[in-house]
Structure 1
Amino acid sequence: MTTLTLFTPSGALAKAENLKRAARRLTQLGFEVAIDADALARHQRFGGDDATRLTALHRIADAAPSIALATRGGYGLTRLLDRIDWGRIAHSVEHGTRWVGYSDLTALQNGLIARHKGLSMWAGPLACDDFGRSEAEGGVDEVTRDCFLEAMSGALEAVGFRETSRDIPGGFDGLEARGRLWGGNLTVLCSLLGTPHWPKVKGGILFLEDVNEHPYRVERMLLQLQQAGVIDAQAAVLLGDFSGATKSPLDRGYGIKDAVAALRARTKTPVLTGLPFGHVRTKVCLPVGGTVELYVQGRETILGWQSDPRLAHGEHGHHDHHHH
């Protein structure tokens, strides 16, 4: 049986019923679901005070369930980064735990990449956002669900999408790249620059998304990464969804396309758009920290990787190289 633990590392849950609904649905999908003791804890806007959330993180790492799925994002992991025992987190990953989430989970995923080459987590759904939505709110997105099930079983080895840039003559036809996949939420990632939690990835494939950030703010953060030498050092950049921001009358036609154009004008690194990932209903699962291969044919883009052999054979793998 695949054990799955739901935990709250960042923002507090508004309603317990979404968590219960998510747990019920995940159980129906065949997982043995456990809800962490402090999943519903609250302190100000957080899912419990810092000590509570840190203890929960370590408790889950020590228990090493098959899957550790965050209930929601928000904000809160940044407060914990300096106090996380990364050896314990790494140990759980080596014992087969797949940590899954996006948004604020970007801090945890990239903090691990900064310290352990070869270890990965999953950028993917959040329990309450993606599995806890009521039928009236649209229920569970089928693509998101199926992609999650495939990724967690070890069967998912690639995701495909259509590159959406219309302003690049010929698009990125023929592009091939291979490197370490990293990134996630743009705002959270930028907050790690210059800290010990920043992954110094060269020749990687950087993916980015954000929500409720005005295009000029997105542009400013993209240019910060470019001016810091980060974008130029990558093999490719994949942009997911950047929606939710309120337009301003001052924009006069300026939008995300212009922000992307401003970045492309300053780097030779291919910047692709259309990755089905971000604060949207339909999202794929991506092995953050894993080595991936990117192929573009026409506008069809394939991002592929080798699945974990331990999962494909249905075993809970045990490695003997532990970092403590």
Structure 2
Amino acid sequence: MAKSNSYPCQLPPALKPGDRVTVIAPSGALKEFEALEQGLAIWRSRGYQVQLGSNWNFRHGYLAGDDRQRREALAQAWSDRDCQAILCVRGGYGGARLLEDWNWNSYLSEQTKTKSAWCNSKWLVGFSDVTSLLWSLAKIGIAGAHAPVLTTLASEPEWSINRLFDCLEGRKLEPLQGKGWGGSQTTGILLPANLTVATHLLKTPIQPSFESIILALEDVTEAPYRIDRMLTQWRLMRAFTGIKGIALGRFSRCDAPVGFNSWSVEEVIRDRLSDLNIPIVSDLPFGHDGVNAALPVGQMVQLDAEKGILSWY
């Protein structure tokens, strides 16, 4: 297996039309059936063979099947030599439950057990709750794509859909424009995440190294005081130590309850991050409820806090 916390992460083989991809639901149960069909249609229109995994429409409470069923679907897709990418149906909650005592190398097929997970890597595509799986792969040095899930893909503008396939098919990615907080440039290894999911992974065996990374964060439906509480936890744990810069995406529907005296989420984020003395760029086009530009995990990037640009090497 690849060395733990190795950076930059190894990119899986580039996809090409005709490849087979597998759809799984590692987290919440599917509710958006029409949106799923639209997402599948986009992949098929690009020439890909799309296979539905064993649990894509399972339901077990709020989960897409019990832990055994969801873990089995992930293991089957990961060990299938004819599957070139794993597409997540949606986020929700439940991905981290699959990773207790999980070992990517243990789920290789008999034909590939002599090789490591690093040698048999394939793309994993998703965001939000899929953060846990993306981080678990990054921990062993394998890149994934922090990108739209199947039920959000059709709502993306054309340029964002094209960007996803550029990422997966090995083409150069264009820079992303945000709002610089002022200061210098920095380079580092990009580690995207949903803030809430990432906070619950801190100091667990799933957390990759934070040394020399540029952290990319987004979130949804978290009131400002909850964002404050999470970022304060990062500070108390000294989790920002070693981080070279922060790229902030969208924090959507993160308003205070009606009638509740509160700072805005933007004010909270500035209060908790502006004294870290590292380059920060906000308002980048990724996250929930809007454009969700694909971000390859574990790759070298440059963050320009003066011009507000996140760019790739």
Instruction: Give 1:121's aligned residue.
Output: 144
Give 1:232 deviation, angstroms: 3.1
Q: In the alignment, which of 176, 181, 191 is matched to residue 190 of structure 2?
A: 181
Which is further off, 94-103 or 186-195?
94-103
Secondary structure in structure 1 of the residue aligned to 2:250: strand
Alignment of 1:1-324 (within 5 A): 1-64=18-81, 65-88=83-106, 91=116, 94-114=119-139, 116-117=140-141, 119-131=142-154, 139-163=155-179, 168=181, 171-172=182-183, 175-248=184-257, 249-251=259-261, 254-290=263-299, 292-296=300-304, 298-305=306-313
Aligned partners of 1:297, 1:230: CA distance in 2, in Å?
21
Q: Could you give the per-residue CA deviations for residues 8-46 of structure 1, whole angstroms, max 9, x where no partner exists? A: 100010144433332222101222211112211111111
Aligned partners of 1:267, 1:245: CA distance in 2, in Å?
23
Aligned partners of 1:260, 1:27: CA distance in 2, in Å?
40
Amino acid at match of 2:38: R
Aligned partners of 2:33, 2:266: CA distance in 1, in Å?
39
* Contact 2:255–2:265 (CA under 8 A) maintained in structure 1: no
Instruction: Give 1:135's aligned residue.
Output: none
* Contact 2:190–2:213 (CA under 8 A) maintained in structure 1: yes
Aligned partners of 1:60, 1:298: CA distance in 2, in Å?
43
Give 1:103 deviation, angstroms: 0.4
* Contact 1:237–1:270 (CA under 8 A) maintained in structure 2: yes
Give 1:98 deviation, angstroms: 0.9
Q: Could you give the per-residue CA deviations for residues 268-309 of structure 1, whole angstroms, max 9, x where no partner exists? A: 22232122111133111111122x12142742413203xxxx
- Compute the RMSD of aligned alpha carbons: 2.1
* Contact 1:125–1:144 (CA under 8 A) maintained in structure 2: no
Instruction: Give 2:112's aligned residue.
Output: none
Q: Could you give the per-residue CA deviations for residues 58-90 of structure 1, whole angstroms, max 9, x where no partner exists? A: 101001422211010000112111132222579
Instruction: Give 2:113's aligned residue.
Output: none
Secondary structure in structure 2 of the residue aligned to 1:5: strand
127 and 93 in structure 1: CA distance in 2 versus 1, 3 angstrom threshold: farther
* Contact 1:13–1:40 (CA under 8 A) maintained in structure 2: yes
Which ranges in structure 2 are unaligned for 5 or more consecutive residues?
A: 1-17, 109-115
Amino acid at match of 2:186: A
Q: Could you give the per-residue CA deviations for residues 163-220 of structure 1, whole angstroms, max 9, x where no partner exists? A: 2x5xx5xx23xx3322222141001001011321122321211111100001221122
Using structure 2 for the length normalisation, give the TM-score: 0.84
265 and 271 in structure 1: CA distance in 2 versus 1, 3 angstrom threshold: same
Secondary structure in structure 2 of the residue aligned to 1:239: strand
Amino acid at match of 2:205: P
Give 1:101 deviation, angstroms: 0.3
Aligned partners of 1:189, 1:276: CA distance in 2, in Å?
19
Which ranges in structure 1 are unaligned for 5 or more consecutive residues?
A: 132-138, 306-324
Aligned partners of 1:62, 1:191: CA distance in 2, in Å?
28
Give 1:265 deviation, angstroms: 4.4
* Contact 1:144–1:284 (CA under 8 A) maintained in structure 2: yes
